[in-house]
Amino acid sequence: AQSVTQLGSHVSVSEGALVLLRCNYSSSVPPYLFWYVQYPNQGLQLLLKYTSAATLVKGINGFEAEFKKSETSFHLTKPSAHMSDAAEYFCAVTSGGATNKLIFGTGTLLAVQP
Amino acid sequence: DGGITQSPKYLFRKEGQNVTLSCEQNLNHDAMYWYRQDPGQGLRLIYYSQIVNDFQKGDIAEGYSVSREKKESFPLTVTSAQKNPTAFYLCASRTGVGTEAFFGQGTRLTVV
């Protein structure tokens, strides 16, 4: 079975500081991994995705993530936080298997302090 | 514009009533999903469908029902058997294996 674990349900950073949101996955087959962002009372928007083409993935709004198979991790980073980055972030995993389910982590709420 | 439309955005239900949440997509996606979101619990899968006239239970299907009579539509019924239905419900769709999901704007259901 596949799963994702997001360490830290709440993360607070200062504006201009590095953002690091952690995601570890469990999968018995090569995974496809995703990061989504959610603003209050809205749906989820895709930030970036890993589909085995490259281990360092660049996404929208200056975010990037690195796939590390040896650590089963896919952490999300941004060099300099902006106030508009305050939102909830979800990591998700799926496989190429027949069930085709997309499994989400419990989310990390990012606060950006001025 | 292509996308996923969920309606209504807010829904109030009396205890003991069934209520149906609408989800329509014009992205020509085969797979569609329903998730429930509660604070601190992330997104939990209720039901999913990979093709018309076929659907499977997710992790928390009890008290819910779905249908998939058309490719574009995947309505979710919250029945009176669902003991704690107050939540934010999200519908999503995907083209196929390994692809990202596209989400609707959600429906917030409140039991009064």
A96 interfacial to chain B (CB closer than 8 Å) = yes
The per-residue pLDDT for A98 is 61
> What is the total residue count of chain A?
114
Check A44 against B48: CB less than 8 A apart: no
The per-residue pLDDT for A84 is 96
Q: Is residue A42 within 8 Å of residue A66, measured between CB atoms?
A: no
Q: What is the pLDDT of residues B41-90, one digit of tens each?
A: 889 999 999 999 999 999 999 999 999 999 999 999 999 989 899 999 99
Q: What is the mean pLDDT of residues A59-81?
A: 95
B4 CA: distance to closest CA in chain A (Å)? 10
Check A101 against B108: CB less than 8 A apart: no
A103 interfacial to chain B (CB closer than 8 Å) = yes
The per-residue pLDDT for A56 is 94
- Of A12-16, A68-72, B21-25, which gets the smallest average pLDDT? A68-72
Sort out which chain B residues have CB atoms less than 8 A from A6's CB and list them. Answer: 42
The per-residue pLDDT for B55 is 95
Supply φ then ψ for residue B97, to 5 degrees. -60, 130
Apex B28 CA angle, B19 and A98, nearest 5: 85
Check A96 against B90: CB less than 8 A apart: no
Q: Is the pLDDT of residue A28 over 80?
A: no
Q: Is the pLDDT of residue B40 over 90?
A: no
Check B33 against A107: CB less than 8 A apart: no
Q: What is the mean pLDDT of residues A34-42?
A: 94
What are the Cα distances from residue A100, in Å, to A38, A79, A97? 22, 33, 6
Sort out which chain A residues have CB atoms less than 8 A from B96's CB and list them. Answer: 100
Cα–chain center distance at A58: 12
User: Per-residue DSSP letters for chain A?
Assistant: --EEE-S-SEEEEETTSPEEE--EEE-SS--EEEEEEE-TTS-EEEEEEE-SS-SEEE-GGG-EEEEEGGGTEEEEEESS--GGG-EEEEEEEE-SSSS---EE---EEEEEE-
The per-residue pLDDT for A23 is 97
The per-residue pLDDT for B96 is 77
Sort out which chain A residues have CB atoms less than 8 A from B35's CB and list them. Answer: 104
